[in-house]
Amino acid sequence: MGFRAGRESGPIFIVGLPRSGSSWVGGCLGISSSALYYREPCTRAYSAANEGRVVFEVTPDNVPDAYLRSSQKLCCHSPYIRPSVVAYPHQWPPFSRNVRVPVVKEVNPLACSWFIDRFNPRMVVVLVRHPAGIASSMRTLGWVLGEGSTLDDWRCFGSRVAREWQQMLEQIADCDQVKIVRYEDVCQAPLETFQGLYRELGLEWSAMSEQWVRGSSNAKLQSKDHFSIRRDSVKNAYRWRESVTQDQLQALMEGYAEYELPDWYQT
């Protein structure tokens, strides 16, 4: 069952930590006329039955039941999935969904090795974002670093992000179908970047794709909905500089530097 017959028939995964911009990137890729877009099928099923963090290591011996159930539905393109997973209902008629390329957006990078083994994807797009951008976005939602947070708290958060990225890199080290993309690079040139990703991923670029990317990247008013995928992408890339102090940034990056990572972010 599923996608084990060959990588060319496998899904495309977009994976990043929460608040890394994966909803925007996933939505812009998933709108392709050749795509069948799934929005966090494993994470949403898991969150419905469990409280706590959604980022945790998934191994063959430690796969949550919610992940297994969701993967079975995904493999057979089952329509019996959570409505919140279906971002674009027009993609789901039976005659349509069976010929489209599954594009799956998830927010648990520590499940990458399981995603790769379970689904044999044609590509895993790993999205990274500046740790200060993740911290600022999570803080706005009240998830981390609330009032009274110390510089040690910021340092610990930076260390946590780096540790999780290092674990993710270890999981994908032996997979040759991985592309790491910086959120900030997509923000600076969204149209050109998405056109390139469409070509590399084998997705069909159309007038609708271009309209969607332009519309979601050039919103001049900042939405009050923190989960909106419409933004002024150029301004949004480094909007965190408006709310993160220099001392907080320094502490964050001190924690981040505790782990050896590629040269994605230095300051």
Q: Is residue 23 part of a domain?
A: yes
Cα 186 to Cα 112, 115, 200, 209: the distances in Å are 22, 24, 15, 15
Residue 219 CA from chain centroid, whole number? 21
Q: Is residue 142 part of a domain?
A: yes
Write the pLDDT tens digit of every residue in 227-236: 677 778 999 9
What pLDDT score was predicted for residue 89?
87
**Nearest in space to 222 (alpha carbons), one of 213, 234, 212:** 234
Q: Which domain holds residue 161?
A: 7-256
Asked if residues 162 and 255 have their Cβ atoms less than 8 Å apart, the reply is: yes
Describe the strand order of the beta sheet including 178-182 as a list of residue ranges: 35-39, 101-106, 12-16, 123-128, 178-182
Q: Is residue 265 part of a domain?
A: no
Q: Is residue 263 part of a domain?
A: no
Q: What one-letter code names the amino acid at 91?
A: Q
Cα 220 to Cα 12, 181, 232: the distances in Å are 30, 24, 6
Q: Is residue 244 part of a domain?
A: yes
Asked if residues 11 and 118 have their Cβ atoms less than 8 Å apart, the reply is: no
Q: How many domains does the chain have?
A: 1
Q: Is residue 264 part of a domain?
A: no
Start-to-end CA distance of the chain, whole Å, equals 46
Q: For tokens 């599923």, what's the residue?
A: 2
Q: Is residue 200 part of a domain?
A: yes
- Give 196's contacts (C-beta < 8 A, 6+ positions apart): none
The radius of gyration of the chain from alpha carbons, rounded to an integer in Å, stands at 18
Say if residue 121's pLDDT is above 60. Answer: yes
Share of the chain above pLDDT 70, in %: 90
Q: Is residue 136 part of a domain?
A: yes
Say if residue 82's pLDDT is above 80. Answer: no
Write the pLDDT tens digit of every residue in 147-193: 999 999 999 999 999 999 999 999 999 999 999 999 999 999 999 99
What pLDDT score was predicted for residue 60?
86
CATH number of the domain to which 42 belongs: 3.40.50.300
Here the tokens at position 209 are 């794709």
